Amino acid sequence: MSSEHIVGIDLGTTNSLVAFMQGDTPVVMPGEDGSNLVPSVVALDARNQPVIGNAARGALIATPDRAVYSIKRLMGRGVDDVQEELKFFPFRLAPDLQPGEVLRIQLGEKTFTPPEISALILRQLKRNAERFFGGPVTKAVITVPAYFNDAQRQATKDAGRIAGLEVLRLVNEPTAASLAYGLDKKQNGVVAVYDLGGGTFDISILKLHDGIFEVVATNGDTHLGGDDIDNLLITIALDDIRGDLGLDLRKNAEAVQAIRKAVIEAKISLSSQIAVKLEIELPGGQRYQREITREQFEQLVQPIIERTVGPCKQALKDAALKPEQIDEVVLVGGSTRIPKVRALVKELFHREPHTDLNPDEVVALGAAVQANILGGGSEATQNMLLLDVTPLSLGIEVAGGVTDKIILRNSTIPASATQFYTTQIDGQANVAIHVLQGERELAKDCRSLARFDLKGIPAMAAGIPRVEVKFLIDANGILHVSAREQRSGKEAEIQVQPSYGLTDEQVESMILDSLDSAEEDFRQRQLIEARNEAGTILAALEKGKQSAAWSRLTSDEKKKIARMEKALNQVKAEDDYQAIRKAVEALNQGTTRLAELMMDTAVSSVLKGKTMDEADLGEGPAAPHPVAKAEFE
């Protein structure tokens, strides 16, 4: 068994976690602040250094143009898709985005692709794990919503790579949750996992038998979660404020974030209280106050929660199961704490949902279990195996703009399909293939996955070449394509233009390598040392001020020393170690005479190695008379 630790990571819309299998039990590893949850919030501080997690939350309100949350909503998406998101989320797209370019968002003066932002969160989790183990962590299992498409999955893998992690497997979130549940219960049966997170909704139905976790059907909505509830409440509050107080705060980023913070707190309170008071300090000193009852809240969010019903019914239909045939419903995701959601689940599945497991942690715990399976770990996972499915049908665009489905949704993965292509013109060397994901009939209604160009087809008469193209969806749910011209046996070259993704070269260039952090570490060390030096000389100065020698300085000398002391105190609080060193040196120079006086001995060349004309010994910049020292006695 490898001694290297493979960790399980839940890269969530709202919060992220890292966990591992400790013996037979999965355990979440906390951050330095002791918190198990790392908020998926990234900010740039004043020096453009990234700040992640709890430390970044304050930035959302204080410097909203330098902070971002819910970046998962942008992973694997193109400029067109995110127009909807932009309406409700303060994502600032880079102004120089070209059509067809990978999305970039603005944080302060810099721009980042969504995988780079996610990589910063992953790197934080990596560091938390390394701190826990006292050793390096380079391999991970990362979870994704079951309903994530190919581009979204690839983006997640890219993020892992940029963060310096080898992503051994992407696991679907509901499946991961079922692993944590199954490990706990060790029972056979049919389980439905209802996962309502910050930004995505998944419903998966699994058969558990003898350690095999077999997904039968999965469905969901990658645009549905707690964030939508928050946005609805924010909109209402903004309208209210405009109506009551005549203030239109929609463009005021700080105000919107303050409102957001307040409505989230209110939403959470309403899960345990019948009514709550919303109180927000607005710019200009005005206060917005409003009472919300649980009943009002439930009425407001009903249409949002209702959107989970369709996918649930479709999943049951695809599984050919009735609600009565489900043995257990497991709830995952913070939003499932809302009483109305639980009531809806109860109604849909005709039973009380299972709420023993912590809905915030269960996915990370399950990822740790899968990490353990891959690493061949403990006895507990010896007989466990995940059999997952692809959530969306894979199709090829054919003449007439129609989708020809070649791998159907809910097919167990890995899965493959083979198609044959030929040429239309004599000597044609390339064939273009457009691959799509989705259930609709027309290609334009499906999601474009990639366009492939089959190149290097040997020159033959039209219709003669027989190119066998193999489509393989791997265990991560990601598509691979290979092609071979059968008559010549030649492997056709495939050039992939991913519709929304980064190329390998781009990912390579983004890797947050050790060089980066080594530089950072060096800088930190220098800073600490410089600050220590500053502390030493300032302490010595204090002593000097108490001594008899102090009164023997001229007032000009004292003023000069005071100036330098002030300057040093100022830079000491900042983090430019070179500036601190300079200020220390300056003060050192400025207090040489004081030091001499305090020594109460004849000035000699031993004095800090300074020569007479270097030391600032008297009034004015004139070099002292060598005889001057005799005057000190």
- 347-366 per-residue burial string, b: 16 or more CB within 10 A, e: under 16: ebbebebbeebebbbbbbbb
Q: In the block, which residue shows the tokens 């400790």?
A: 22
Catalytic annotation on 72? Answer: yes
- 471-497 per-residue burial string, b: 16 or more CB within 10 A, e: under 16: bbbeebbbbebebbbeeeeeebebebe
62 is an interface residue for another protein by CB under 8 A: no
- From the list 116, 150, 158, 173, the catalytic residue is 173
Rounded least distance, CB 370 to another protein, Å: 8
How many residues of this chain bind another protein (CB under 8 A)?
31
412 is an interface residue for another protein by CB under 8 A: yes
Site for another protein, residues 590 to 609, rule: CB under 8 A: none
What is the Cα–Cα distance from 33 to 55, expressed in whole angstroms? Answer: 9
Q: In terms of residues, how long is the chain?
A: 633
212 is an interface residue for another protein by CB under 8 A: yes
Angle at 222 between CA 309 and CA 364, to 5 degrees: 100
Instruction: Please identify which residue in 373, 446, 507, 510 interacts with another protein, judged by CB under 8 A.
Output: 373
475 is an interface residue for another protein by CB under 8 A: yes
Rounded least distance, CB 17 to another protein, Å: 22
Angle at 352 between CA 346 and CA 354, to 5 degrees: 115
Is the omega angle on the peptide bond into residue 414 within 30 degrees of 0, that is, cis? yes
Rounded least distance, CB 138 to another protein, Å: 15
Rank residues 494 and 527 by Cβ distance to another protein and give the closer one. 494
Site string for another protein, 328-347 (x = CB under 8 A): --------------------
**How many other β-carbons are positioned within 10 Å of the β-carbon of residue 66?**
21
- The three-state secondary structure class of 280 is strand
320 is an interface residue for another protein by CB under 8 A: no
Rounded least distance, CB 475 to another protein, Å: 5
321 is an interface residue for another protein by CB under 8 A: no
Instruction: Please identify which residue in 385, 432, 602, 606 interacts with another protein, judged by CB under 8 A.
Output: 385
- The three-state secondary structure class of 204 is strand
402 is an interface residue for another protein by CB under 8 A: yes
Rounded least distance, CB 414 to another protein, Å: 4
- The three-state secondary structure class of 105 is strand
CB 126, CB 164: distance < 8 Å:
yes
**How many other β-carbons are positioned within 10 Å of the β-carbon of residue 597?**
19
Rank residues 374 and 561 by Cβ distance to another protein and give the closer one. 374
Burial class (CB in 10 A: 0-12, 13-18, 19+), 74: buried
- From the list 116, 150, 158, 195, the catalytic residue is 195
413 is an interface residue for another protein by CB under 8 A: yes
Within 456-521, strands assigned E span 467-473, 479-485, 490-498
Instruction: Please identify which residue in 100, 303, 376, 535 interacts with another protein, judged by CB under 8 A.
Output: 376
374 is an interface residue for another protein by CB under 8 A: yes
Q: Nearest CA to 280 among 231, 230, 239, 241?
A: 241
What is the Cα–Cα distance from 511 to 165, expressed in whole angstroms? Answer: 10
Catalytic annotation on 318? Answer: no
Tokens of 201: 């909704």
Which residues pair with residue 407 across a beta bridge?
394
Ordered alpha helix ranges (H), 203-293: 226-245, 253-269
Instruction: Please identify which residue in 31, 311, 353, 375 interacts with another protein, judged by CB under 8 A.
Output: 375
Rounded least distance, CB 230 to another protein, Å: 36
DSSP state of 465: -
Rounded least distance, CB 161 to another protein, Å: 18
Rounded least distance, CB 285 to another protein, Å: 57
Catalytic annotation on 139? Answer: no
Task: Show the 3-state SS of 542-575.
Answer: HHHHHCHHHHHCCHHHHHHHHHHHHHHHHHHHCC
400 is an interface residue for another protein by CB under 8 A: yes
Catalytic annotation on 468? Answer: no
Rank residues 293 and 383 by Cβ distance to another protein and give the closer one. 383
DSSP state of 109: T
414 is an interface residue for another protein by CB under 8 A: yes
Binding segment toward another protein, per CB under 8 A, in 194-202, 220-228, 410-418, 557-565: 410-418
Q: In the block, which residue shows the tokens 């499946």?
A: 175
CB 500, CB 104: distance < 8 Å:
no
472 is an interface residue for another protein by CB under 8 A: yes
Rounded least distance, CB 211 to another protein, Å: 9
398 is an interface residue for another protein by CB under 8 A: yes
474 is an interface residue for another protein by CB under 8 A: yes
Identity (one letter) of the amino acid at 97? Answer: L
Binding segment toward another protein, per CB under 8 A, in 130-138, 205-213, 516-524, 545-553: 205-213
CB 332, CB 235: distance < 8 Å:
no
282 is an interface residue for another protein by CB under 8 A: no
Rank residues 386 and 460 by Cβ distance to another protein and give the closer one. 386
Site for another protein, residues 517 to 536, rule: CB under 8 A: none
Q: Give catalytic residue positions.
A: 10, 72, 173, 195
Query: Binding residues for another protein, per CB under 8 A?
Result: 2, 168-169, 209-210, 212, 370, 373-376, 383, 385-387, 398-402, 411-417, 472-475
